[in-house]
Amino acid sequence: MSDIPVQDSPAPAGLTPAELELAQRREIDTPSSQCMRCGAEDALPLDSGVILSPWQIAYETYGTLNDDRSNAILICHALTGDQYVASTNPVTRKPGWWTSLVGPGKPVDTDRYFVICSNVLGGCMGTTGPASTDPKTGAPYALTLPLVTIRDMVRAQARLVEHLGIDTLFSVIGGSMGGMQVLQWASLFPQKVFSAIPIAAGARHSSQNIAFHEVGRQAVMADPDWCGGAYLSAGRRPSKGLSVARMAAHITYMSDTSLHRKFGRNLQDREALTFGFDADFQIESYLRHQGMTFVDRFDANSYLYVTRAMDYFDLAAEHGGSLAKAFLRTNTRFCVISFTTDWLFPTSESKAVVRALNAAAANVSFVEVESDRGHDAFLLDEPEMFRTVRGFLTGAARARGIPAPGGAA
Amino acid sequence: MGIELSSVSGLPQVRGDHLVVCDLVPEGARVLDVGCEDGALLQLLTERRHIDGRGIELSQSGVNKAVARGLSVVQGDADMDLSDYPDNAFDVVILSQTLQATRDPKGVLEQLLRIGGQVVVSIPNFAHWRNRMQLLWRGRMPVTKYLSYQWYDTPNIHFCSIRDFVALVEEMDATVVKAVALSGRGERIGFSAPWWLWNLIGEQAVFLLKR
């Protein structure tokens, strides 16, 4: 979900889809970013029961870790995001996906904090995922990679954080699926998380959310070029299926109001209806474009794996059905943020988290930001969200004793 | 953009009822402020009493302002959301000028006494002499500088007098540990008087309750 319309604008000049595809393939095993590679001695036990080895996690860092290692912030990305939160994506060559929030002087101020962002387990930008090469066969894992969960993603990140010599993260921040990881972090490693900001997220994936994901996965698997998952070895690509999956998902990221404001019933480059199945309407043309540009930068099997991880997420279920128990005796400071027109992760989901945190007597703030831009709002220019994040982090930094840039506390 | 707490430490003007509340809160206490508005009282208590403070506020704009100044505040409703908190979760629970706007004041008070070891409640006194005069001589619902709403637009749906409130507290087996009557501007009425007199001259009152 890291793709606001600006991000999925046409490929940069001089890059053909074939070149893009090549660049994307290269990032899978040999990412341009930093990468932690783990052998048999650092195997990763997964929720599925399988022990993953070898495995790797690709990440970017920004800013400087202070002497007492107290200023590290982990940013967790959403479904189709990556580690390039505030730096140029090597495939699309577009700026980082959350530069509005993360950077020098920004609410997540890289002059003050050391920011880490890693690609999720199951992803396709350098962390082990279905497109990665299975060292046993020399071919891509495809569907032989065990399914991964949000908790597996978090465990992998925890290994990275440990590797970087950080005992406690000052904050863990993420939107949508990133927000799920934030909640999982706070629940699984409460002593390692000083503060947490789950944005436009929830403690579980709802039935409706699972339904939309299933439509997307079926679209991918119905594409003959999917080849039972082995399309990379067959030299093919289920672009049509993945594109349809993206189109369906994209609708869920926007609100009725924002779609209507942007497109209405406007016709695309024509004066009248064509009485055919061309993209008569602007919204159709827009969705097709979203689908087409997505396939150049994302792996279809990765899409299956990561959507499945979201579907499986249910934090209360891990604790006998009680969400409050997931946060019992927590000392983490929480700041929960939702958006008024987000119907994918509506405010009610965030409020359920807040209620559970109150029941656990946790330190929690909750802000519902008024926006008509639906779920995608968390990636967009939302001053109220920026003010909230900045204020919350500043208060938490004072409590943690992290000096402000320039020295003043 | 973000407001640094320190920059607000020289608050331009501290509300009188806030100062009275401040005197009732022990140093370092765990405090829940129900109906905390933009967090001014929480901030005062954080600076002067070094509390571990939380807030609940109905208006989203109030919540957003409070969180932006680094306070822990959730959007919520005294009538609906207090039941989420465990027993004795806080040393002190504060309900400032809010009781009269709740749907179920007795139920809210019950929740406050359950959640907090001590409860601080401030209320506007509907039996203040000025209100009595307006009703007596003009036969109109009182509108004063301190209570400036018309009957049809007031959020204050459950008014009471100081004596009404004390009676309710007694009925609920709670004790008034301390009471302070204030003028409309929040100035302490600095002498002790029988309830009937306070009920006449106090425009508002702050109570420290315990059960």
Q: Looking at the predicted complex, does its ipTM rise above 0.90? A: no
* Residue-averaged pLDDT of chain B: 88
Distance (Å) from the C-alpha of residue A355 to the closest C-alpha of chain B?
A: 6
> Is residue B140 in some structural domain?
no
How confident is the model at residue A245, as a pLDDT? 98
Q: Are A219 and A251 in contact (CB under 8 A)?
A: no
In chain A, domain spans: 17-203+320-400
Q: Are B68 and B3 in contact (CB under 8 A)?
A: yes
> Is residue B132 in some structural domain?
no
pLDDT more than 90, % of chain A: 89
Whether A342 sits among the annotated catalytic residues: the reply is: yes
pTM attached to this predicted model: 0.89
Whether A375 sits among the annotated catalytic residues: the reply is: yes
Q: Are A194 and A170 in contact (CB under 8 A)?
A: yes
Measured between alpha carbons, how far is B70 from A394 in angstroms, rounded to an integer? 6
Q: Which residues contact A337 (CB under 8 A, 6 or more apart)?
A: A197, A198, A199, A200, A350, A366, A367, A368, A369, A378, A385, A388, A389
Render pLDDT for A121-148 as a digit per residue (tens, 0 to 9): 999 999 999 999 999 999 999 999 999 9
Fold of domain A17-203+320-400: Rossmann fold (3.40.50)
Whether A176 sits among the annotated catalytic residues: the reply is: yes
Measured between alpha carbons, how far is A163 from A148 in angstroms, rounded to an integer? 21
Instruction: Find the domain containing B197 and state its range.
Output: 5-127+157-210
Query: In this complex, is the C-beta atom of B4 within 8 Å of any C-beta atom belonging to chain A?
Result: yes
> Is residue B113 in some structural domain?
yes
> Which residue in the list A342, A350, A371, A376 is annotated as catalytic?
A342
> Is residue B35 in some structural domain?
yes
CATH number at residue B184: 3.40.50.150
> Is residue B133 in some structural domain?
no
Nearest to B5 among A335, A383, A398 (CB): A398
Q: DSSP label at A99? A: T
Query: Of A131, A119, A171, which Cα lies nearest the Cα of A389?
Result: A171
Q: Are A368 and B2 an interchain contact pair (Cβ–Cβ within 8 Å)? A: no
Domain count, chain B: 1
Q: Are B74 and A366 an interchain contact pair (Cβ–Cβ within 8 Å)? A: yes
Render pLDDT for B172-207 as a digit per residue (tens, 0 to 9): 999 999 999 988 777 888 777 888 888 888 889 999
Q: Are B85 and A359 an interchain contact pair (Cβ–Cβ within 8 Å)? A: yes
User: Is pLDDT above 80 for A2?
Assistant: no
Q: Are B5 and A395 an interchain contact pair (Cβ–Cβ within 8 Å)? A: yes
> What is the pLDDT averaged over residues B124-134?
90
B124: helix, strand or coil: strand
Query: In this complex, is the C-beta atom of B5 within 8 Å of any C-beta atom belonging to chain A?
Result: yes
CA dihedral A106, A107, A113, A116 (to 10 degrees): -90
Render pLDDT for A173-210 as a digit per residue (tens, 0 to 9): 999 999 999 999 999 999 999 999 999 999 999 999 99
